[in-house]
A = this chain, B = another copy of it.
Amino acid sequence: MSSEISTTRDRILNAAWTLLESNPGVAARMSDIAKAAGVSRQALYLHFPNRTELFIAVTRHQDAVFGVQDMLEASRAAATGEARLQAFITAWGNYIPRIFGVAKTLLVMRETDADAAQAWDERMADMREGCAAAVAALARDGALVMEEREATDLLWTLLSIPTWEHLTRLCGWPQELYMSEITRLARLGLCGQA
């Protein structure tokens, strides 16, 4: 019974996921998602109040499937500030390509939809926490050459989705180059040396 519910719900979530991933930023229509899920358009409204909430649910679903929390948790184990920064950049930087399509969609919707904006901002606030923790660890080591607050902002910006998109999609950088250059820039900017 409830397994029936979650099966249909999951089919919808996965169909939406696939569509958003294959066409980042261009929010699929409800009828497209319904067709892809093999379900009637109205069935979507049985499981999600509206389009925005459906997309937000896809985001949460992704985070659950991928286990973001655990992933970012790992960086907390690092001993030194430098190691922690490295671990955080590695974890987040390699997470971005996996969520980009859906994230980009929410990012675009953010501008015109208050609910999308809130969901996105919360997610980014969580990410910023990770930045702040890494920066705090650097500060504790005396490795930071700037204000903690500003250093966090800088790292947050370097690791933002639009920055990743710009370098990998617009400039065509392979993921490895993105990782190495962002790491180098973060070390330079925050610690004054690579």
Binding site for B on A (CB under 8 A): 25-26, 104, 108, 111-112, 150, 153-154, 156-157, 160, 162-163, 166-167, 171, 173, 177, 181, 184-185, 188-189
Contact = CB atoms under 8 A, between A and B. Distances in A.
B166 A160 contact: yes
Contacts of A166: 156-157, 160, 162-163
Contact of A189 (B104, B157, B185): B185
Number of copies: 2
B163 A150 contact: no
Main SS at interface, chain A: helix
Nearest to A111: B25
A186 to B, nearest CB: 10
A159 to B, nearest CB: 10
A68 to B, nearest CB: 20
A112 B173 CA distance: 24
12 contacts: A25-B112, A26-B111, A26-B112, A104-B111, A108-B108, A150-B173, A150-B177, A157-B166, A157-B167, A162-B163, A185-B189, A188-B189
Contacts of A189: 184-185, 188
A181 B184 CA distance: 16
